[in-house]
Structure formats: C-alpha cells, structure tokens
Structure 1
Amino acid sequence: MRIGSFAWPLVMGLLSAFLLGPLVLVAVFSFSSNALISFPMGELTLKWYRDLLANADFHAALTNSLAIALPVALISTVTGTLAAYAFAEWRTRLGLPLLALLGLPVLLPPLVIAISLVVLYVRWLGLPLGRPAVIGGHVLVTQPLVAAVIASRMASFDFTVLEAARDLGASRWQTFWKVTLPQMRAAIVGAALIAFALSLDEFIIAVFTIGGGNTISTFVWGKIKTTLDPSINAIATILLLMTIGLTLIALRLTRYRG
C-alpha cells in the first residue's frame, strides 16, 4: 500500500514533466539571446518578439487567423446554441442521439475531414479554397463542442420558467431573449471562446483548405520546415498564452453554479 501511494504521485509527476517540460522550455528560450536553442542560455532579451512584430508575413498570418477565428466563433456559437436549445426543448429520447450525431466530426480524424472538405469544395461544388473554405471546415469541428457545452447547461435548465413567460403573454422570441438568454449568457460566451481558441490553433484543416496565404499555425509550420528561427518560440509562447487565457476564461464562465 505504501509503495503504491508513493509510486502513483511519482508516475504522475514524471508524466506531467514530460508533457509540460517542452512548453516551459519553448517559453524560456523565447527570451534567450542565443540563435541556437541550446544550453547554456544567453542573456534575456525581447529581440525575437521585436523581430516577429516587424515581420510582414507574421502580420498577414495573424490577420488571416483572426479573420477566420472570429466568424468561426460567431457561427459556431449561434448554430450550436440553437441546436442545443432545440434538443433540450424536445426532451425526448431523440435529443441525445441527435446531439451525438452532430458531434460525429469531432470523432473523425482531422486528416479525413480535411481531405473530404477539399473534395467537396473543389470537385463537387467548384468553390475556390481560401478563408471561407477554412471557416466552413472549422465550424464543422467547433460547432459540436459548442452544442455540447450549451447542452450540458440546458440539462439543468428550468423549463417551467419558459412556460410561465409564455402564459404571461410573451412570444417565443421574447421568451428566448428575456428569459433564456440571460441564464445562458455565461455558457454561450465560454463556448464562443472555446471555438475561437480551437480555430486559432487548428492546423490540419487550415493547411488543406487555406489555398494561398497562411494562418498562424501554417506560418509556424513553414518556418520550421525551412529553419529553426528562434522567433518560432516567440510565436508559440504567444499562442500558448492566448490559448490558456481563453480556456481559463471559458472554463470560468461555463462552470455550473447551481
């Protein structure tokens, strides 16, 4: 018993170090003056961040990423919220199977989804690749997560309040806007932040459907293939901080409060 109680924390500690160690090193080396990523480290500097901010290609990639992630968050939130609301309002045995069916794209390998989207856009629909194609692909994989977050909040929703509002003469739209939405606002905002963060970091669908140009993820991939520029550490650190920050805010907002 004593050996087990000692071994389990040790295993978890080693696993955490294995998973988090590279992330810590990336952040640390983003402030090193050395051109090579190796020890001993050089002096602390913000040179790589300054070089990154002066890079026009980085600005173009960041613009593309934001121009994709913002519509993805908006579309996924609206459609995912409406889907979760409909499934919860039905309150039948079909609600959970339909929600699981909606989440099917999340279970499929991203490579399969990316190839399928290229075939759909180019071969079947004859549409050009670009930002709209990436947005469609990202919505496909983020909308189920938004619906799942909203559905988990709707599971504890008191529908008798809606019935009372309707009895008092409120229309369906007034009931949704004045009764349902205020109680769901925190979960909706949190789900939108999750969709935004996922779209910002997504790589496989983006690299297949972006056509010309880059997103942040494909920009980093391109730099890694050509050279180990230390500014890559700066990009990774910025993305890491943004992702962690958005995730923490989303978890805070979507936490059930009874």
Structure 2
Amino acid sequence: MPGRGNLLWTGFGVLALVFLLSPLALVVFFSFAENQNATFPAGGATLHWYGVLFDDPDFWKALGNSAIVTLTVGLVSMVVGTAAAMTLARTRPALANALIGVITLPIMLPPLVLALALATGYSSLGLPLGLGTVIPSHVVFTQPFVILVVHAQMASFNMAVVDSARDLGAGPWTIFRTVILPIIRPTLIGATLMAMAVSLDDFIITYFTIGGGMTLPTMIWGMLRKALDPSINALGALVLVATVGTSLIALRLTRYRG
C-alpha cells in the first residue's frame, strides 16, 4: 500500500507539472511553427514570426521602455533595499520583524488592489501617468524581495570583521566597500536580478500606471485584444526566456532554497 500511495502521488505530481509547463512549451513551440493559426499540424520550423516581430516598430518602443523600467527598478531596489536590510540587521529583532512585516505588505496585497491604489494616488496628486509613475510603482513591490534576501544574509554576517576594520580606523564607506560588499556581492546581485525579473514580467501594475505607453507585457495584451497574431508567440517566448533566465541566475547566486 505505501508503494502504491507513493506511485499515485508521483503520478499526480507529474500531471500537475505537465499541466503547468505545457502551455509555456506550446508558446515557444508555435513561435517557430509555420502554421499561423497556432494549431496542429504545426508545419515546418521557421524564424518568420521573429522577423515579423523585429520589423514592428512598436516592439522596439516597448523593449526600450521595458529596459528603462527594469534597469532603473533594479538599481533603485538594490540601493534602497541594501541600505534597509543593513539597517534592519542592526535593529532589535522584535522591531526588525515588525518593520519587515510592514515593508513586505505590498507583495502580500493582491496586485489588482495595489495597482488601483497606486493609480488612484497618482490621480489625486495630479501626476501624469508614464514611465515616471511605473518605475516607483515597481519599486514598491520589488524592493521587499531585495530587503528579505539581503537581510537574511546580513543576519548571519560575522560582524567581528566589521569591528576589526573599525578598530583599524576604517570609515563606514570603506568598511562597506572593502569588507561587507565583497562578502554579500553574490547575494546582492542575485536579489537585484530577482527584482528585475519581477519588474520585467509585471503586467497589472504597469497597465494601471503607464498611461499611453507600453512595455513588453502590455504590448502582448494589446496584441491579444486585436487578433491572434502569430508573432505574439515569438514575443511571449522572448519574455519567457528573459524572465526565467534572470530568475534562475538570481536563485543560483542567492542560493535560495525556499
């Protein structure tokens, strides 16, 4: 009986995995298929739909906007998140845990609620929607990832090396640059890449706060509303590879096992 139970659970796990991954695999598969209806038989292999996508000027505008947002969000999240994590590491555990609960609130809220709150806030302040509102909106829900990951590293950091550097006359910036940063660099880079992956893939908050512009996810949404354009599979495959690849590198660098 135990063996049969394990077999059933294994079978269920395999089916669940197939159910989750098969749509993603189909997006990549049909991005190389000749059949423009994205149905079987798929026909031969082709790069035609990637050519159609690259000839679309809207793609390059969306790619440029996504690059600006993602890189800026990653940089801001890294700086602010690292400073916050180091401060929390020196704070009393009870207070630090309470502050972390407040900081991580944006990632616990439903994205639709957060997007609506941000859009309402910008409207009440009279701020025009655009990349200038998308970037801080993304920082709101990306920097908690950086804070949590870097704080976990700093919580186990050997502060004796910092005290030794301070005793030798090193200032705060010198201590950070020559002692702390070399040790936490892989974790810091991984956490930043994680924040960038989350930002690149976001649709709901971007849709509510970007106004008339577009990023790659909102471009996909726009293409879906018009017609079943086969080049949408090529765009989806590119976003998928970028997001998954960045996430895997981030998990590798941070050695995250959660």
State the Cα deviation string for residues 158-205 of structure 1 (Å, max 9, x = none): 011111111111111211111111111111111111111111110001
Q: Quick one: distance in 1 between partners of 2:134 and 2:71?
A: 12
- Displacement of 1:5 in angstroms is 1.2
TM-score, structure 2 as length reference: 0.97
- Which runs of no fewer than 5 residues in structure 1 stay unpaired? none
Partner of 1:197: 197
Letter in 2 for 1:3: R
Displacement, 1:252?
1.4
* Match in the other structure for 1:211: 211
**In structure 2, distance between residues paired with 1:176 and 1:69:** 26
CA distance in 2, matches of 1:245, 1:132: 27
Alignment of 1:1-258 (within 5 A): 1-123=2-124, 125-255=125-255
Between the aligned partners of 1:146 and 1:100, the Cα distance in structure 2 is 14
Per-residue deviation at 1:92?
3.2
With normalisation by structure 1, the TM-score equals 0.97
- 1:180-231 deviation digits (Å, cap 9, x = unpaired): 1111111111111111111111000100110112110110001001111111
What amino acid is the match of 2:59?
Answer: F
Q: CA deviation digits over 1:59-112, x for unaligned, max 9? A: 111111111111100001110111011001224321122112100000001111
Amino acid in structure 1 at the alignment position of 2:231: S
CA distance in 2, matches of 1:95, 1:182: 24
Q: CA RMSD in A?
A: 1.0
Q: Is the 8 A contact 1:84 1:99 kept in 2?
A: no
Counterparts of 1:10 and 1:127, CA distance in 2: 53
Count of aligned residue pairs for this structure pair: 255
CA distance in 2, matches of 1:134, 1:71: 11
Q: Which moved more, 1:77-86 or 1:170-179?
A: 170-179
Q: Quick one: which amino acid aligns to residue 20 of structure 2?
A: L
1:90 is paired with a residue whose SS is: coil
User: Is residue 193–residue 250 contact of structure 1 (8 Å, CA) maintained in 2?
Assistant: yes
Q: 1:36·1:230 contact (CA, 8 Å) conserved in 2?
A: yes
Q: Distance in 1 between matches of 2:249 and 2:90?
A: 28
User: Which stretch of the first structure deviates more once superposed, 48-57 or 167-176?
Assistant: 167-176
Structure 2 distance, partners of 1:252, 1:13, is: 24
Distance 1:55 1:94 in 2: 52
CA distance in 1, matches of 2:114, 2:42: 42
Distance 2:173 2:58 in 1: 45
Where structure 2 has 5 or more consecutive residues not aligned to the other structure, the ranges are: none
SS of aligned partner of 1:169:
coil
Distance 1:44 1:171 in 2: 60
